[in-house]
Amino acid sequence: MNGNGYRDDRPEPEPQAATGAAEHGAEPGRRIALDPETVGRDLASLVLTVVELVRQLMERQALRRIDQGDLSDDQVERIGLTLMALEDRMADLQERFGLTADDLNIDLGPLGPLLARD
């Protein structure tokens, strides 16, 4: 019986494999002690990674549309100014959180890095 008065027929969990939490420095069954400052920086890194990925995708799409002649001169100028402003803002946010472009580029193993190298 468990603490709620119900019988627990589930099998005991297998011992943790070497690739589990123990390999990464965490003890099985224990929570990882997180530093609030590190959590904030890590969250900022994740959010900025997603924003940078979207920015790069938008930039590539804009270049394709420009090459195809789908945009007026005014639209090309507005897109260019918008993308430059976003790139400047990203640089400001990276500096604010002490991040570099490499910090935002997640390694996807055999797939390679997430972000294109400019």
pLDDT tens-place values along the chain, 118 residues long: 555 565 656 666 555 544 444 444 444 555 666 777 788 888 888 899 899 889 889 999 999 999 999 899 999 999 999 999 999 999 999 999 899 888 888 888 888 778 877 5
- Number of structural domains found in the chain: 1
Report the pLDDT value the prediction gives residue 19, as an integer from 0 to 100. 47
Domain assignment present for residue 105? The answer is yes
Residue 55's domain spans which residues?
42-111
Domain assignment present for residue 48? The answer is yes
With the CA atoms of 47, 50, 52 and 57 taken in that order, what torsion angle do they form, in degrees rounded to the nearest 10? Answer: -160
d(CA 53, CA 116): 9
101: helix, coil or strand?
A: helix
Domain assignment present for residue 103? The answer is yes
Cβ atoms of 117 and 52 closer than 8 Å: no
Cβ atoms of 48 and 104 closer than 8 Å: yes
Give start and end residues of each alpha helix (H) in the chain.
36-68, 73-96, 101-104
Report the pLDDT value the prediction gives residue 28, as an integer from 0 to 100. 54
Report the pLDDT value the prediction gives residue 116, as an integer from 0 to 100. 74
Domain assignment present for residue 12? The answer is no
Residues 6+ apart with CB under 8 A from 64: none
Report the pLDDT value the prediction gives residue 64, as an integer from 0 to 100. 94
State both tokens at 3: 């603490």
The pTM assigned to this predicted structure is 0.61
d(CA 103, CA 97): 11
Domain assignment present for residue 14? The answer is no
With the CA atoms of 67, 73, 75 and 80 taken in that order, what torsion angle do they form, in degrees rounded to the nearest 10? Answer: 70
Report the pLDDT value the prediction gives residue 21, as an integer from 0 to 100. 45
Domain assignment present for residue 8? The answer is no
d(CA 46, CA 71): 33
Domain assignment present for residue 30? The answer is no
Report the pLDDT value the prediction gives residue 95, as an integer from 0 to 100. 94
